[in-house]
Amino acid sequence: MTALNAELLDLPELDFASADYAARPFQTLAGWAQRWKIARSRRGVEILDYDLCRRAILDRRLGTGHPKLMDVLGLPEGRPLEYKRNSISFFNRGDRRRDLRRPMTRLMSEGGIEAFRADIIATVRRVVDAVPTDQPVDLITALCDPIPSAIYCYWIGAPFEDADFVARTSHSVQQVHTRNPDHTPEIIAAFEALIDYADKHIAARREHLGDDLLSDMIRAEQDGQLDGDDLRNWVIKLAEANTDNSSHQIALAIIELASRPKVWARLHDDPALVPQAVREVMRFHPRTISTSREVLEEHQIAGVTLPKGTPVFANIGATHWDERYYAAPAAFDIDRTDEPPHMNFGGGVFSCIGRFAVTAEVEEVIRLLSARHPALKVDEARFAHSPMFSLVTRLTARLSP
């Protein structure tokens, strides 16, 4: 529970543990947004309106919530905390953040990722080729986890067989967002393993530079754009942020698209519709439900004074289902036009570095599955929704029933 002052305690309280939120998370968030633009919860102040969220995400008076998150988890002194302190997540607006992000935003820009698209397609094919088509399959372990982790292996020149390790450690380190110290030992162990793994692969790659992402990152280091510690921290950061988020979003896309036979048939007939279908999935069922900030400088939002240090959460999930911004938001409609962009990847100087990469991954998965498996049948799909994320906890399907 975060300590809030009297004015903030007067705000309406949102209960993310309520039965309503568990049963209908987006309708519940949108209902709260109809009543209030700003509220509070156990974790801090909650912003519920699209325009206010957008402004908060970009506002220079709001910074990273990561240092406080490490305090909440009680991360002890040691290599994982040292890594966190020196990685992009701990830096606020300013020169250091800009210098750290610049080489990576260039390498992972839309154009940078297009250069890798053929390799993304090849990796997706390799994983999908190994999935049995005539029986029910657990698609999380057979497809959703292996694709982003195999792509990470490809980025750093690691063997495909390491994908399982990459997936497991990413799932573990992402437990930081539970804000639950019970997960701290698992998080520390996973970071320790990732740090050793990154060191090993960077050393190997330095010997033989190639045309993969890690080689380009080493070249950026050689050009003086990054130092050796920054390089290592980025290799760990990409593993940390990649598989867990991407795997859930791939699963969400398969479920939302393949469970709608008319939409699936349209994608089969016209693959050019895939990008807009993926955009609609990211609006309708985004992996990101909220993104966190901390007040750097006292200011007001919607007439409420936010003292320095207050944790603030931009509720992207609420904004995506707000009828003031999206017509009939509960309708899944891949033909939406002229509506505001989704905020699944946050924005501004904290925006997701991997957004073009993961969007291309999800597109290629959907393109291949809808082309090859027009009758794909989702047998069972289960979700969980934390205040932070959408999670797919079960996905079984038959590719060609």
Q: Does 281 bind ligand HEM (CB under 6 A)?
A: no
Binding ligand HEM (rule: CB under 6 A), the pick from 28, 242, 310, 315 is 242
Site for ligand HEM in 40-79 (CB under 6 A): 57
Q: Is the dihedral of CA 360, 104, 147, 251 positive or negative?
A: negative
Nearer to ligand HEM, 154 or 268 (CB): 154
Query: Measured from the CB of residue 366, what is the shortest distance to ligand HEM in angstroms?
Result: 13
**The residue to which tokens 């060609």 are assigned:** 400
Nearer to ligand HEM, 214 or 268 (CB): 214
| Residue 47 · residue 53 · CB < 8 Å | yes
Binding ligand HEM (rule: CB under 6 A), the pick from 8, 353, 376, 381 is 353
Work out the angle between the directed axes of helices 79-86 and 228-258 (0-180°, nearest 10): 90
Nearer to ligand HEM, 268 or 359 (CB): 359
Q: Does 315 bind ligand HEM (CB under 6 A)?
A: no
Binding ligand HEM (rule: CB under 6 A), the pick from 113, 166, 217, 241 is 241
| Residue 359 · residue 342 · CB < 8 Å | no
Binding ligand HEM (rule: CB under 6 A), the pick from 41, 288, 310, 319 is 288
Q: Does 390 bind ligand HEM (CB under 6 A)?
A: no
Query: Measured from the CB of residue 230, what is the shortest distance to ligand HEM in angstroms?
Result: 12
Binding ligand HEM (rule: CB under 6 A), the pick from 197, 354, 369, 395 is 354
Nearer to ligand HEM, 287 or 367 (CB): 287
Query: Measured from the CB of residue 400, what is the shortest distance to ligand HEM in angstroms?
Result: 27
Question: Which of 321, 342, 333 shows the shortest CA–CA distance to 266?
Answer: 333
Interface with ligand HEM: number of residues (CB under 6 A): 25
Binding ligand HEM (rule: CB under 6 A), the pick from 92, 351, 386, 396 is 351
In whole angstroms, what is the distance from residue 50 CA to residue 320 CA? 8
In whole angstroms, what is the distance from residue 385 CA to residue 28 CA? 12
Q: Does 344 bind ligand HEM (CB under 6 A)?
A: yes
| Residue 236 · residue 351 · CB < 8 Å | no
Q: What is the dihedral of CA 8, 12, 17, 22, to 10 degrees?
A: -140
User: Which distant-in-sequence residues (6+ apart) come within 8 Å of 21 by Cβ?
Assistant: 15, 28, 29, 385
Query: Measured from the CB of residue 102, what is the shortest distance to ligand HEM in angstroms?
Result: 11
Site for ligand HEM in 243-272 (CB under 6 A): 245-246, 249
3-class DSSP state of 40: strand
- H/E stretch holding 191 reads helix 184-207
Q: Does 319 bind ligand HEM (CB under 6 A)?
A: no
Q: Does 358 bind ligand HEM (CB under 6 A)?
A: yes
Cα-based distances in Å from 372 to 99, 123, 290: 44, 16, 35
3-class DSSP state of 24: coil
Binding ligand HEM (rule: CB under 6 A), the pick from 24, 55, 93, 101 is 101
Structure tokens at 86: 């020196």
Binding mask 179-218 for ligand HEM (x = CB under 6 A): ----------------------------------------
Site for ligand HEM in 80-99 (CB under 6 A): 88-89
Query: Measured from the CB of residue 7, what is the shortest distance to ligand HEM in angstroms?
Result: 25
| Residue 397 · residue 136 · CB < 8 Å | yes
In whole angstroms, what is the distance from residue 392 CA to residue 387 CA? 14
In whole angstroms, what is the distance from residue 97 CA to residue 95 CA? 6
The values of phi and psi at residue 76, to 5°, are -75, 165
Nearer to ligand HEM, 311 or 347 (CB): 347
* Residues of this chain that bind ligand HEM (CB under 6 A): 57, 88-89, 101, 237-238, 241-242, 245-246, 249, 287-288, 291, 344-347, 350-354, 357-358
